[in-house]
Amino acid sequence: MTSIIPTSDKVQEVARALLEAADSPDDVRTDTSGPSLAFVVSDELATKVGFGEYDDDPEPLPESESEPETVQEPPRSGKGSGEEAWKKFLTDQKFEFDPKLERNELIALWDAHTGGQ
């Protein structure tokens, strides 16, 4: 949706242009909540009248390179604290380790890497 805020001397001209281009008068709403009158219309209607550029087939936005998802460290004891869970965690962290290491060694290696935090 687009809000069009005409200057006070152009209100009638803009209203007329919007209503003539609209399929129905219901396509043009007024908003008086701000300091001046605004017309709220679809992006397509705004473009028809010369306000804005509506593209009904936009190019997809490129995928942004977001920060990698933080993977929760496995428990250090109890359920879910096994060697395989730690190996998966370290692999997900792209942390290199000797796959022959046992669970306690993996945890110690991770603690040395993170400073125990």
76 and 112 share one domain: yes
Residue 26 belongs to a domain: yes
Residue 8 belongs to a domain: yes
Question: What's the domain count of the chain?
Answer: 2
Residue 56 belongs to a domain: no
Instruction: Please give the distance of CA 107 from its chain centroid, rounded to a whole number.
Output: 35
**Domain residues for 106?**
70-117
Residue 82 backbone class (left: φ over 0; alpha: ψ -120 to 50; beta: rest): beta
Nearest by Cα to 51 from 7, 17, 25: 17
Residue 65 belongs to a domain: no
pLDDT values of the chain reduced to their tens digit, one per residue, 117 residues: 888 888 888 889 989 999 999 898 899 999 888 788 889 988 888 888 887 665 666 677 677 666 656 778 899 888 989 999 999 999 998 888 898 999 999 989 888 888 766
75 and 113 share one domain: yes
pTM: 0.45
Check residue 87 and give its pLDDT. Answer: 92
User: How far is residue 30's CA from residue 82's CA, in Å, rounded to a whole number?
Assistant: 63
Whether the Cβ atoms of residue 28 and residue 19 lie closer than 8 Å to each other: yes
